[in-house]
Amino acid sequence: MSIYREMLQKLKKILSKVVFENNWWRYKIDEYTLPDGSSGEYHYVQTTGSTMIIPQLNETTFVLTRQYRYLNGRISLEFPGGGIKKGLTAEQNAKEELEEEAGYAAERMKELGEFNPFNGVTDEICKVFLAEDLSFIGAKPEQSEEFEIIKMTSDEIEEKIKTGELWDGMSLASWSLYLTRR
């Protein structure tokens, strides 16, 4: 493996420009120099990062949400989460997303790890948290959001993954981090 590491070279950025920007991300184009001296363009989405939360009610029961996903035109079963809002740490954002989407406050948040949801298209890093010692306070969705709160056992989650009913990539990655760190 070290042979490959020695051969990999970083690309040198020449210039970067923002093509479009909104409250959640920036669409950027970078121009860079390849190791052979030629240049190339990289189009990508830059974000402030995101958080996913695995709310654990007890030893085997978890809280998920069901919502409509516009781009796929179908209902998605997933763990609560969202983009990191300006001025918040990842943990603060996770607590807010948990309350907003699932309606729970957590006494304890444990960081399980992080991942990039689409590393060829975005620089986003998603931090995953396990939320424990939960108290129901009622969901507070944003105007554009609508959720159904679902309680499932770990066996039910595994079954939903097997049948394809749980297909959200960020939830699948988060569950994988949970399984390897429990």
Global confidence as pTM: 0.91
All CATH 3.90.79.10 domain ranges in the chain, comma separated: 50-181
Distance CA 90, CA 121 (A): 21
- 118-142 in b/e form (b: 16+ CB < 10 A) is eeeebebbbbbbbbeebeeeebeee
Query: What is the pLDDT at residue 147?
Result: 86
The half-sphere exposure of 100 on its side-chain side, counting CA atoms within 13 A, is 19
Sheet holding 12-21: strands in order across? 12-21, 25-33, 39-47
Report CA-CA distances (Å) from 94 to 4, 28, 37, 136.
Answer: 37, 26, 43, 16
Q: What is the pLDDT at residue 3?
A: 57
User: How large is the C-alpha radius of gyration of the chain?
Assistant: 19
What number is the average pLDDT over the span 111-127? 97
Q: Rounded mean pLDDT of 111-126? A: 97
Distance CA 68, CA 168 (A): 12
Q: How confident is the model at residue 99 (pLDDT cuts 50, 70, 90)?
A: very high
Q: Which CATH class is domain 50-181?
A: alpha beta
